[in-house]
Amino acid sequence: MIKDAEKFSDEDKKVKEKVEAKNELESYAYSLKNQLSDKEKLGGKLSDEDKTTIEKAVDDAISWMDLHSDAEIEELKAKKKTLEDTVQPIITKLYSGGSGGSGESPPHQDNPSSTNEQEEIEKENAEKEKKRRRQKKITNYTLLGMLVTFSGSVIYAFFTWGAPKRDDDGNVIQDEFSDLSFLPQHASRAWKTLTHYNQIIKEPSRELLLPPPLPPPYYQPPYTIVMEMTGILVNPEWTYKTGWRFKKRPMLDYFLHQCAMSTNFELVIYTHEQGITAFPLLNSLDPNGYIMYRLFRDSTRYEDGVHIKDLNRLNRDLKKVIHIDWDAKACRLNQENCFTLKKWDGDSDDRTLYDLTNFLMAIANERVEDVRDVLRHYSQFDDPLEKFKENQRKLAENEEKTKEEATKQSGPAYKSFLMKALR
């Protein structure tokens, strides 16, 4: 311990000597530079040639210090001596009867202002050096802490996850790694466990996301509507007064009521939001319980930064599943089932849900066997609901023209615009 204390004492002494040598060189160089710029001092007394010589030597010394901030004590002292060897002969000539006049002592030796400047520079440099050493020490401790934490985690995983499983009697359960030596055996088991946890994060939490359809005599709606919540039903907004809140989309109550009362649709929310956030929000949006099932982020497949809705795990016939979302990337596993709408930005005059209700009712009324045919047709348009409304207008015009003829027939001559659009 005494040797360690002596070692640290020697190191502190060397650092102090290094700072002092650096301060001496800095103060000497900057003092000369200040005097050269003052016409009442060296700047007004030296000849142009001597002044240029000193300026060049001073600038060279300052540049050298900037490039060699970690120079050793001997290098600093040598640089100062080089500067003095250049300057002192000129100063001596000046004050021994040259252009300086009456032989007064050189300013850089006894000038009070120069001494004060030197003390300030030394104090400032010492403070900088102290701060640099403190920051370096903090950085080293931080890196050491990170290394210890990482090493501890690796060791824990190696011995905890890599250990063989045991039965209730404490006997080792044989697995595919039991025949390996100690290190490969534990490393392989630990890696398998790690990849398993990674898979849990990326894959849906269960194989089948919904229970089986209701068997007779219970009634199972023929169509399943799967909807994203954020951007379709609600929009997050932030204000200084209220902070973050969700705004309900216009006509949402009408949409839920019509879909539920028609008995043709099973409503499912399938959102990328966390359940802890979305569940109370859905309770507020749907107090009547029209939404039959709620699927949250844990039910999505996470790939390339996108939470993908995997309809193959819904446990429903995909011919009858309509997925309504604003993000086409979230539907890429079942694009034919996706009905992509524009993301709602909070516009209070929006009527999309009203038009969407009419579109879904048309599908139900036509008893469409495979909704993917209809969705595929309308997906080719930038605004599928606008195209649907245009078809409605055309149908109304055609029905007006054939109204008299249709009333004479025994049955209605109605042919759905929806079926015509698919031809």
Token output for 304: 């390339």
d(CA 409, CA 47): 122
- Whether the per-residue pLDDT at 105 is higher than 60: the answer is no
The arithmetic mean of pLDDT across residues 67-73, rounded, is: 79
The arithmetic mean of pLDDT across residues 14-36, rounded, is: 80
Q: Give this prediction's pTM.
A: 0.55
Q: How confident is the model at residue 99 (pLDDT cuts 50, 70, 90)?
A: very low
The arithmetic mean of pLDDT across residues 186-207, rounded, is: 77
pLDDT digits (tens, 9 = 90+) for 118-156: 677 777 878 888 888 889 989 999 999 999 999 988 888
Question: Bigger pLDDT: 56 or 111?
Answer: 56
291 closest CA partner among 265, 327, 314: 265
Looking at residue 417, its pLDDT comes to 54
- Whether the per-residue pLDDT at 10 is higher than 50: the answer is yes
Which DSSP string corresponds to 39-82? TTTHHHHS-HHHHHHHHHHHHHHHHHHHH-TT--HHHHHHHHHH
Domains, the chain, in order of start with CATH, read 2-136 (1.20.1270.10), 223-421 (3.40.50.1000)
Looking at residue 165, its pLDDT comes to 83
Looking at residue 117, its pLDDT comes to 67
